[in-house]
Amino acid sequence: MRMLHTMLRVTDLEQSIEFYCDVMGMKLLRRKDYPEGKFTLAFVGYGDETDHTVLELTHNWDTNQYDMGNAYGHIAIEVEDVYAACDAIKAKGGNVVREAGPMKGGNSILAFVKDPDGYMVELLSPDRKD
Question: Known catalytic residues?
Answer: 122
pLDDT in tens, 55-105: 999 999 999 999 888 888 999 999 999 999 999 999 999 999 999 999 988
In a domain, 103, yes or no: yes
Neighbours of 41 (CB within 10 A): 17
In a domain, 66, yes or no: no
Rg (CA), the chain: 15
**Residue among 99, 106, 61 nearest 82 (CA):** 99
Domain span at residue 25 reads 5-60
88 φ, ψ (degrees, to nearest 5): -65, -40
Neighbours of 72 (CB within 10 A): 10
Q: Give the separation between CA 32 and CA 129, rounded to whole angstroms.
A: 40
Q: How many domains does the chain have?
A: 2
Query: What CATH code is carried by the domain that includes residue 40?
Result: 3.10.180.10
In a domain, 95, yes or no: yes
pLDDT at 128: 75
Same domain, 55 and 80: no
